[in-house]
Amino acid sequence: MSPKFCVYCGSPVKETDKYCIICGKPMLTDIPKAAKRLDRKEEIKKEEEFKVEEKIEEKEQKDEEQKDRILDMEETDKDKKISKQKKEKGGIKPLPEEVKEQMVYYIEYNDIQLNKQVLAEKLTDISKSTKDEKYDYDMEFKKEVNLKLEAIKTLISELKQKENAIKQNLEEPFIVQRIQNDIDTKIFQLENLAREHKLHKVDKETFEKLKEKYKQEKIELETEREELIEGMKLWIQDLKLEKAEVSGERKLSKGRYHAKELTEDEFNEKDKEFDLKLKKINTKISTLEKLTK
């Protein structure tokens, strides 16, 4: 049996391989001859589109990795020390239930904004059908379009009601920001106390007692804030792992499509599902990242 090579990169492959182990491109095995005789221009066009999509995804992934590296580098020595101390004491403290509840509210609120945007786009798209000539004379077509429009408007209305209900339960600012405000207050009190003592408006004994009191309160607030942020970062890490898994499944779906295992309609339907999943995960990640600031 003569050796077989990848038609894309020229690397040797086995007869049973469905994908090249070097470049990852699908092999042209088990494809009917009629399918292999597809118009070459169309094949080239699809291949180029696939390459462009891969490059865009690769760039987005690199940008995301670079962003994560920068955020990790920005972690202060104090943060690292606190994190190390917590690990030595037996791990990160679990998030309080009331804090997790508020995080869920914030995530749901931002998820509603995404869903409203998706529905608004669908509403715009379906509204175009009202300008179709069929809309004026085909009563069945008109009825179908009107039902879709009414259904989307109802969903948007329900989302707005849910949005208003969640807003009533949202505690603003979020606890991390509230604690930071309290820390800033303690810093101001310490600075002001030092000025008052320097101007002889506060005696030494009172100065020392208040200074120790404010410093201790500041340390307690900083510890509480760091514990909350550490717990939230664990949640963010889990979401990033979920995102990586969904991205991997999406790439596999593209590979199956180019290997003719999925029809174009099947691929497009799955790709829309993957796209929405990734948008929702990104919304959760960005929401939690903002709450840690």
pLDDT at 93: 78
Confidence of residue 6 (pLDDT cuts 50, 70, 90): confident
Taking residue 225's Cβ as centre, other Cβ atoms within 10 Å add up to 20
Higher-pLDDT residue of 188 and 51 is 188
Taking residue 228's Cβ as centre, other Cβ atoms within 10 Å add up to 21
Question: Of 172, 188, 221, which residue sits at a domain end?
Answer: 172
Whether the CB-CB separation of 132 and 142 falls below 8 Å is answered with no
Whether the CB-CB separation of 167 and 109 falls below 8 Å is answered with yes
Confidence of residue 87 (pLDDT cuts 50, 70, 90): very low
- Phi and psi, residue 278, nearest 5°: -65, -40
Q: What average pLDDT does the segment 199-222 reach?
A: 94
Closest by CA to 222, choosing from 211, 230, 233, 232, is: 230
Is 206 a domain residue? Answer: yes
- Decide if pLDDT at 216 tops 70: yes
Domain that residue 136 falls in:
96-172
Distance CA 129, CA 127 (A): 5
Higher-pLDDT residue of 43 and 156 is 156
Is 220 a domain residue? Answer: yes
Whether the CB-CB separation of 276 and 270 falls below 8 Å is answered with no
Are 151 and 261 contained in the same domain?
no
Whether the CB-CB separation of 114 and 279 falls below 8 Å is answered with yes
| Paired tokens of 211 | 């200074």
Are 179 and 292 contained in the same domain?
yes
- Decide if pLDDT at 17 tops 80: no
Residue with tokens 């690769």: 58
Are 206 and 156 contained in the same domain?
no
Whole-angstrom distance between the N-terminal and C-terminal Cα of the chain?
63
Number of domains present in the structure of the chain: 2
Closest by CA to 220, choosing from 194, 186, 189, 188, is: 186
Is 238 a domain residue? Answer: yes
Residue with tokens 């589109």: 49
Q: How high is the mean pLDDT of the chain?
A: 82
Closest by CA to 176, choosing from 291, 259, 86, is: 291
Least confident of 44-58, 84-98, 147-161, 222-236: 44-58
pLDDT at 210: 94
Is 91 a domain residue? Answer: no
Q: Is the pTM of this model over 0.75?
A: no
For 127-174, what is each residue's pLDDT tens digit? 999 999 999 899 999 999 999 999 999 999 999 999 999 999 998 899
Is 21 a domain residue? Answer: no
Whether the CB-CB separation of 159 and 114 falls below 8 Å is answered with no
Q: Name the E strands within the chain.
A: 4-5, 12-13
Q: What is the DSSP letter of 93?
A: P
Is 225 a domain residue? Answer: yes
Question: Of 141, 172, 203, which residue sits at a domain end?
Answer: 172
pLDDT at 66: 61
Distance CA 22, CA 156 (A): 48
